[in-house]
Amino acid sequence: MSKKKNKINNEEQAVPSIEAEKEAESFAEAEISKEMSESDEEKAKKKAIRRRKLKYGSVATAITVICIAMVVLVNVILNLASNSVNMNIDLTDDSIFEISQETKDYLNTIDEHVDIVCMSDELTFQTSTYIYLKQAYEVLKKYEIYSDNVEVTYVDVVENPTYIDRYSQSYSGEIDEYNIVIESDKRIKVISIVDLYDVEMNSYYQQEIVASNAEQVLTSAIMYVTDPSPIQAVVFSSESAGMSYDNVIEMLESNGYEVTEIDPLKEDIPEDTDLVVINAPLNDYNESIIDKLYSFLDNSGALGKNLIYIADNAQNDTTNINTFLEEWGISVGSGVVGDSDTANILGSNVYQIGCYIEDNDYSTNVSNTSLPVYVYYSRPISILFDTQDYRSTVNLLSTDETGFIMTDEIAEAQDESLLTYGEQSVMALGRKYMFDSDNNMVYSNVLVVGSAENLHSTFTGSTYYNNGEYFLSVLNTMTGKNTGISIVSKDLTSDSFDVTLQDYNICTAVFIVAIPLAVLIVGIVVYVKRRTK
C-alpha cells in the first residue's frame, strides 16, 4: 500500500513540473519571437534608410548629370550663336571692340556676298597680347555678325602659300602675310594690317600705335568693292599751307572714294575723274593749271563735275585761284574770321569758333545738327551773287551776327573800332547748271572751305564736333553719293577699365556679401530638411 501511495504522490508532484517547463518554453519562445520581431524591425528600418539614401543619391546624381549636360549644351549653343549674335559687352570708354551704329546700318544695306580674308592664322589674332591685333580681331568678327552677306576667313599663308594664287587674275599687286583681302564679284581691295592704325612718335622717339582706323578702313573697303561705280577723286599734290592734307585723303578713302594723287604741273586730270580736291596750296597756280580746272568743270559742255578748294590763312598770295573762284560767285578774302560773343568761341580764343549748321539739303546726312562745326582761323568767304548766268551760290556755314574779320591792317593799327561786325561765311558752294536732253538739271559744283585746319583729324575725328560729318554730308550730296558715313577713330592709348566708387561698392555687395550669403542660407535649409526626414 505504501509503495502505491508513494507512486501516486510522485506522479502528482510531477504534473506541476511539466507545466512549469511548458510555461518556461512558452516564455522563451515569446522572448525569441520578440527578439526576432525587434531584429526584423531594425532590419526593415535599415533597409528603408538604405533605400532612402539610394533614392536621394540617385536623384542627386541625376541632377548633377542633368546640370552638367545643360552646361555643356548651353556652352555649345553659345559658341554657335557667337558667330551670328554679338555675345560680348564692350566696357571700354571708347568701345574699341565694337563698330558704330552707322556701320551696322550700312551693313544692313549690303545685298551681295563679300569675302574678308585675313592672310594669317586666326589664333594669332585671337590670343595676341597686343591690343591692336586683338582689337582688329574683334572688329572683324562684328562684320560677320551684323551682316549675313559678309564672311570672314583666316588663312595661314605660311603653311598654305598657294592660296594667294587664286587672286592672280583679279589683282596685280603683291599679297603678303597679315594682308587683308576684301572681295566681291565686282572688284577686290587689299589692305595691310598697318593700314588699320594711326602711328605717332612717342617721347622716346619710338613709333607707337595710338588709334585704330580698323572700322574706317574695313567699311570703306566694303563700300569700294560693292559700289557699282565708285567716285573717282583726284587730289592735287603740292606744297600745302594747312595741316589736313593727309586726313582729307583718308576721309575720302574711308567713305568709298577711289583717290589718286597727281602733280598738276606735270599731269593732266584723268578723263574719268569725278572730283578734284585742292587742299590749301601754299603758292598760287599758274594759268595752265587754271585752264585745266576750267576744262575739267566744263566737261565739254556736259558739266557733272565737282571741285573742292580748301583755303588757309597761312597761304601766300593766290590771285589766279581767287579770280577763278569769283566766276563761281565766291570770293576768298584776306584776314581771319573771329567772333566777339564768348558763347560762340571755344576756349578764350576769338578765332576758334563754334558755328552751327542750318537744316538744308546739305545737312541731311548729319545725325546731330545741334553739335557745332569747329572753325579754326578761317579766311573770310564772300558770296558775290545768288544767281547769275546759269550759276547759283549757296552759303553753307556762317558765324553769328557777332562775327568780324581781323585783317593785317587792323591788327597793326591795334584799333578794334575799325572792325565791322556781322555774319561771316566760312564755307560756301558755287554751282553751274544746264539741262540735259531729258530736261534734267545737271550741275558742276565748286565747294570752298575757309580753313584747312577745320578738316584736321583732331576735329573731324571728334564726337564733340560736326566737322567730319558735315563735310562728308556736303560732299556726298554734291557728288550724288548717298552711302558715305563718317566713322571716328578709336583711341588705343588707354586700355584700362575705370571703376567708380559706387561701382566698386555694388560689386563688393553682390559678389562678396549677397552671393555667398545666399549660398550659405540654401545650404543650411537643405541640411535641416535632410536631418528631419
DSSP per residue over 71-91, as a string?
HHHHHHHHHHHTTTS------
Would you say residue 348 lies in a domain?
yes
Type of residue found at 17: S
Question: What pLDDT is attached to residue 366?
Answer: 84
Q: Which residue bears the cell 544746264?
A: 434
Which is nearest to 374 in space by CA: 408, 349, 401? 349
pLDDT at 499 over 60: no
The whole-number average pLDDT for the span 449-472 is 90
Asked whether residue 32 carries a pLDDT value surpassing 60, the answer given is: no
The burial class, CB within 10 Å (0-12 / 13-18 / 19+), for 341 is: middle
Least confident of 39-48, 188-197, 277-286, 339-348: 39-48
- Same domain for 208 and 310, yes or no, is no
Q: How would you label 102-112 residue by residue, b for 16+ Cβ within 10 Å and e otherwise?
A: bbbebbeebee
CATH number at 109 reads: 3.40.30.10
Nearest to 396 by CA among 367, 421, 375: 375
Q: What distance separates the 2 farthest-apart alpha carbons in the chain?
A: 180
The CATH number of whichever domain residue 250 belongs to comes to 3.40.50
Q: How confident is the model at residue 55 (pLDDT cuts 50, 70, 90)?
A: low
The DSSP line for 234-302 is: EEE-S-BSSS-HHHHHHHHHHTT-EEEEE-TTT-PPPTT--EEEEE-BSS---HHHHHHHHHHHHGGGT
Distance CA 274, CA 254 (A): 17
Q: Are residues 352 and 399 in the same domain?
A: yes
Per-residue pLDDT at 24: 61
Q: For residue 318, report the phi and psi dihedrals to the nearest 5 degrees.
A: -130, 60
Q: Mark whether 261 and 404 lie in a shared domain.
A: yes
Residue 424 binned pLDDT confidence (cut-offs 50, 70, 90): very high
Cell numbers representing residue 350 in the block: 576769338
How much helix, strand and coil, in percent to the nearest 5, is found in the chain? 45, 20, 35
Whether residues 386 and 373 share a domain: the answer is yes
Are residue 222 and residue 236 in the same domain, yes or no?
no
Three-state SS letters, 150-184: EEEEECCCCCCHHHHHHHCCCCCCCCCCCCEEEEC
Model pLDDT, residue 437: 85
Give the pLDDT of residue 346.
84
| Domain that residue 533 falls in | 499-533
Which of residues 206 and 245 earns the better pLDDT score? Answer: 245
Residue 277 lies in a domain: yes
pLDDT of 497 reads 46
pLDDT at 448 over 90: yes
Cα torsion through 144, 146, 149, 151, rounded to 10: 0
Stretch 442-447: mean pLDDT, rounded? Answer: 96
Q: Which helix (H) or strand (E) holds 418?
A: none
Residue written as grid cell 596750296: 281
pLDDT-derived band at 282 (thresholds 50, 70, 90) equals very high
Q: Identify the band that residue 517 occupies on the pLDDT scale cut at 50, 70 and 90.
A: confident
pLDDT band at 496 (very low <50, low <70, confident <90, very high): very low
Q: pLDDT tens digits, residue range 520-530? A: 787 787 767 76
pLDDT over threshold 90, residue 117: yes
Q: Is residue 494 part of a domain?
A: no
For residue 58, being part of any structural domain is answered with no
Give the number of domains in the chain: 3
128 vs 109 pLDDT, higher one: 109
What's the residue count for the chain? Answer: 533
390, pLDDT greater than 50: yes
Q: Is residue 470 part of a domain?
A: yes
Question: Are both 246 and 390 inside the same structural domain?
Answer: yes
> How many CA atoms lie within 13 Å of 188's alpha carbon, on the beta-carbon side?
17
Indicate if 245 and 156 belong to the same structural domain: no
Boundary-marking domain end, from 169, 199, 227: 227
Work out the percent of the chain whose per-residue pLDDT is above 70: 77
| Three cell numbers written together for 497 | 577699365
State residue 368's pLDDT score: 84
Q: What's residue 88's pLDDT?
A: 54
Does residue 234 carry a pLDDT above 90?
yes
Give residue-wise pLDDT tens across range 177-198. Answer: 989 999 999 889 888 888 888 7
% pLDDT > 90, the chain: 42
**105 and 145 housed in the same domain:** yes
- The answer to whether 138 touches 95, Cβ cutoff 8 Å, is no
d(CA 255, CA 197): 17
Name which residue leads in pLDDT, 38 or 396: 396
Which pLDDT tens digit goes with each residue over 133-156?
888 888 999 999 999 999 999 999
Mean pLDDT of all residues in 38-48:
64
* Burial bucket for residue 518 (CB in 10 Å: 0-12, 13-18, 19+): exposed
pLDDT, the chain, mean: 82
Name the phi and psi angles at 180, rounded to 5. -120, 125
Put simply, whether the predicted model's pTM sits higher than 0.85 gets the answer no
Shared domain check, 411 and 350: yes
Q: How far apart are CA 112 and CA 183, in angstroms?
A: 11
Residue 264 lies in a domain: yes
Q: Are 308 and 275 in contact (CB under 8 A)?
A: yes
Residues 422 and 317 in one domain: yes
Q: Which of 118-122, 299-303, 483-487 is predicted with the least confidence, judged by mean pLDDT?
A: 483-487
Per DSSP bridges, beta strands 403-406 and 336-339 are antiparallel
Say if CB 198 and CB 211 are below 8 A apart: yes
Among residues 159, 193, 227, which one ends one of the domains?
227
Phi-psi sector, 483: left (phi>0), alpha (psi -120 to 50), beta: alpha
pLDDT of 320 > 70? The answer is: yes
Q: Which is higher by pLDDT, 497 or 349?
A: 349
For residue 147, tell me if it sits in a domain. yes
Same domain assignment for residues 404 and 432: yes
Query: Would you say residue 104 has pLDDT above 60?
Result: yes
| CA dist., res. 519 & res. 525, Å (int) | 10
Residues 6+ apart with CB under 8 A from 305: 273, 274, 275, 276, 296, 297, 299, 444, 445
Contacts of residue 212, defined as CB under 8 A and 6 or more positions apart, other chains included, come to: 96, 132, 135, 136, 139, 196, 197, 198, 489, 490, 492
Whether the pLDDT of residue 34 is over 80: the answer is no
Please indicate, yes or no, whether residues 274 and 401 belong to a single structural domain of this protein: yes
- Structure-model confidence comparison of residues 128 and 268, the more confident one: 268
Residue 63 maps to a domain: no
> Of 194, 210, 227, which one is at a domain's C-terminal end?
227
